Structure 1
Amino acid sequence: MREHIHQQQPAQRPGLYQEITDKIIAQIEAGILPWAQPWAGGPALSMPVNATTHRSYSGINILLLWDALFQRGFDSNRWLTFKQALSVGGNVRKGEHGTTVVFADRFTPKVEQEAPSGKEGEARSIPFLKRFTVFNIAQCEGLPAEMTATLAPVSHRFPIESAELLIQASGAVFQRGGEQAYYHTGGDYIRVPEQDSFFEPINFYRTALHELTHWSGAKHRLDRDFSKRFGDEAYAREELVAEMGSAFLCATLGITPSVRHADYIGNWLTVLKNDARAIISAASHASKASDYLLAFTQSAALTGDAA
């Protein structure tokens, strides 16, 4: 389940969209891709979760919290609001600065609500973001011991086995051979080089998870369609989703995320500079793709197919 943050007053549009986009652009231009942080020398690889509800954060919030994790050197990926800290008998230490996360919602103007009903007169809702502040558990004191205990996800002990299970459980058709990796939309199959052609075995799985993310977007799956965009922009948007989606999968399975298509960086910057909502939309699609694919392993475990 995903973390649903308590609502506050909506931020003015398009300020928050632009603020987040500018932050991501600055990171990319500085040579830092938010979804491929330097995990090897930093905190334990994991997805951010709410410390009180145990629900995972999703979409753009993953990137925002990963960034805070590395910039501030936290050793835990557990977060909570000021009120949540108080509710469990703890508190945020004086002087600590929180991290902004967002909640996407829609607003229907009063004039639209009063419009005639029916297909031609459906009320038009406007998407917007709400701003919230969360704190890392390292910024708090007095929290219950079980909330601050070191976590060791089982999947992190066997990352290759976990990735192989996901690939098998997905039912995706993999054709092996050749020198390139890609998802063939017409044939609905994934082509990957032979496993022994990769310098490191784990890179085969990074590549496979990237292509699986593309596979998830087929019309009969998540129906991720960027066809209204043109040429390089459409490809760049889909590659952005695949980069982040595979990074989310890797982090969940205990595999260090890496950059698969650095040659798209220029295209990504162009997309982000032209559309303040692009990174938030792409991160949302990436989260949905990751959740969709991970659900296959959960289903396999329930039916016993994983044995």
Structure 2
Amino acid sequence: MRRNGKHSASGEVGGKRSEPQRASLYCEITDRIIADLERGSVPWVKPWGAAKAGLGLPKNAATGRFYSGINILILWGAVIERGYAGQNWLTFRQALSLGGAVRKGEHGTTIVHADRFIPKNEKERAKAEDTEPQAIPFLKRFTVFNVAQCDGLPAHLYSQPEPLPERQIIPQAEALVRASGADIRIGGDRAFYMPSGDFVQLPPQPAFFDQINYYRTCFHELGHWTGHPSRLARDFSGIFGSKAYAREELVAEITAAFTCSTLGIEPTVRHADYIASWLEVLREDNRAIFRAASLASKAADFLLGFQADAESNSPEGIAA
């Protein structure tokens, strides 16, 4: 929740196939997420329901790099839909390069990578007018496979880390919150971020039925905090009930999901009452979820960037 004075409230790919994708690819992915929301299934929390996959962000098993933005939501969706046991993914060629192979008959999952190109006539126009050419954004489409769809890969790619018990997760979460240096004020019965004062307000921990919910809520509000002009400078101009407000709430929700899952905390919906407004934004703009997921990745990376400080300031050290 964000208070505004009136109310409180790349995929890592290895394939070479790429071609410009028009609105159809934006529509395809957005329509899928809209359908999930309409059914009451929120894409950034559903992988931790019936699925047995370990918490965390999806990762390219060949490079070790984590996917970001919309690709996280796409791959989380594939995990729950197909019941994969892990979050490691590979292109067809990467599986071969690691000594394995995708099993015959397996269907991959489409992920995307945003890119830009400058048409020839735009280059000519810019040259003639002595101005900068305007690049046109487009999506590259790639196919990846979960390691569960492959045979013959090194054994460690199939193994999944054991989930940490809550007694170990909470100290890590608390250390990260403190390392952020955010002005967090405890008191009252509302949770919100106040942009004008640049502080987060949270109820005391005993007000939460489960202690872990304090940190889920805290990371949602810290998601807003990252958007301050001195940090990632997002748009806070929207008043409660506006589309700009809904877009920022969507960013904060997904930021909390990305941050929580990285720490081993199961994401939950902190503000389910905003789902109707999110649907309105997504139906109106088929690129809105792409922007929200991209901004959420940047915000989660900003927060998780304090992990090194959190670990060094811990008397016992915190495992990465």
TM range (shorter): over 0.9
**Is 1:254 aligned to 2:264, yes or no?**
yes
Matches within 5 A, 1:88-127: 88-116=98-126, 121-127=131-137
Question: Which residue does 2:5 correspond to in 1?
Answer: none
Question: Which residue does 2:81 correspond to in 1?
Answer: 71
Q: 1:155 offset after TM fit, Å?
A: 9.0
The answer to whether the Cα contact below 8 Å between 1:91 and 1:143 also exists between their aligned partners in 2 is yes
Task: Output the CA distance in 1 between the equivalents of 2:97 and 2:272.
Answer: 44
Task: Output the CA distance in 2 between the equivalents of 1:242 and 1:206.
Answer: 11
Structure 2 residue identity aligned to 1:267: S
Unpaired runs of 5+ residues, structure 2, are 1-9, 316-320
Unpaired runs of 5+ residues, structure 1, are none
**Is 1:29 aligned to 2:38, yes or no?**
yes
The normalised TM-score by structure 1 is 0.93
- 2:280 is aligned, of 225, 250, 270, to 270
Task: Output the CA distance in 2 between the equivalents of 1:158 and 1:13.
Answer: 46
CA gap 1:293/1:197 in 2 versus in 1, 3 angstroms: same
The answer to whether the Cα contact below 8 Å between 2:176 and 2:310 also exists between their aligned partners in 1 is no
Q: 1:112 offset after TM fit, Å?
A: 2.0
Task: Output the CA distance in 2 between the equivalents of 1:262 and 1:273.
Answer: 18
Question: Which residue does 2:71 correspond to in 1?
Answer: 61
Matches within 5 A, 1:150-299: 150-152=160-162, 158-225=168-235, 227=237, 232-299=242-309
Cα deviation code 1:90-135 (max 9, x no counterpart): 0000000111111111111222222346998221111111111110
Q: 1:305 offset after TM fit, Å?
A: 2.6
Structure 2 residue identity aligned to 1:26: A
- My pick for the range that moved more, 225-234 or 200-209, is 225-234
Task: Output the CA distance in 2 between the equivalents of 1:64 and 1:263.
Answer: 23
The normalised TM-score by structure 2 is 0.89
Question: Which residue does 1:39 correspond to in 2?
Answer: 48
Task: Output the CA distance in 2 between the equivalents of 1:31 and 1:287.
Answer: 23
Question: Which residue does 2:314 correspond to in 1?
Answer: 306
- My pick for the range that moved more, 7-16 or 185-194, is 7-16
Structure 2 residue identity aligned to 1:102: V
The answer to whether the Cα contact below 8 Å between 1:3 and 1:53 also exists between their aligned partners in 2 is no
CA gap 1:242/1:51 in 2 versus in 1, 3 angstroms: same
Question: Which residue does 2:318 correspond to in 1?
Answer: none
- My pick for the range that moved more, 43-52 or 63-72, is 43-52
Task: Output the CA distance in 2 between the equivalents of 1:184 and 1:228.
Answer: 13
Structure 2 residue identity aligned to 1:253: L
Paired positions, count: 304
Structure 1 residue identity aligned to 2:18: Q
Structure 1 residue identity aligned to 2:118: T
Structure 1 vs Structure 2 CA RMSD? 2.2
Task: Output the CA distance in 1 between the equivalents of 2:26 and 2:214.
Answer: 35
Cα deviation code 1:180-233 (max 9, x no counterpart): 100000000000001101111111000000000000011110111264899510
Q: 1:259 offset after TM fit, Å?
A: 0.4
The answer to whether the Cα contact below 8 Å between 1:155 and 1:253 also exists between their aligned partners in 2 is no
- 2:13 is aligned, of 5, 14, 30, to 5
Q: Secondary structure at 1:186's aligned position in 2?
A: coil
- The percent of aligned pairs where both chains have the same amino acid is 55
CA gap 1:175/1:118 in 2 versus in 1, 3 angstroms: farther
- My pick for the range that moved more, 129-138 or 145-154, is 145-154
Structure 2 residue identity aligned to 1:262: A
Q: Secondary structure at 2:306's aligned position in 1?
A: helix
